[in-house]
Amino acid sequence: MNCTLFAREPERLFGDLALLTLIDRIPLSTLIVAALTLGLAPFVPEPHIWEKLKMLASGTLTRPIDVFDLLFHGLPWVLLLAKLARIATTSKHES
């Protein structure tokens, strides 16, 4: 994959609904709130994402509901990291 093409023409690689354009449209504050609330819920006795990551590391993440929980509570964190990476890479190209 040509990194130059990726940086200049995301629509060409991802089709009409460009993934990078979608990430650009989501406000950073929204992603932070989503990661801190949905990404960490429930807070007691421990966040689901932490519990599921421990299960993944120990090899006990086998039930479909547990995989769904990992994806559901992990998605806000993945989107937040993608947004921060996008901000970092676009600011480097602009300066």
More confident residue, 60 or 6: 60
Secondary structure of the chain in HEC code, one letter for each residue: CCHHHHHHCHHHHHCCCCHHHHHHHCCHHHHHHHHHHCCCCCCCCCCHHHHHHHHHHHCCCCCHHHHHHHHHHHHHHHHHHHHHHHHHHHHHHHC
The tens digit of pLDDT for each residue in 11-65 reads 555 554 577 788 888 999 999 999 999 988 888 888 889 999 999 999 999 999 9
pLDDT at 48: 85
- pTM equals 0.73
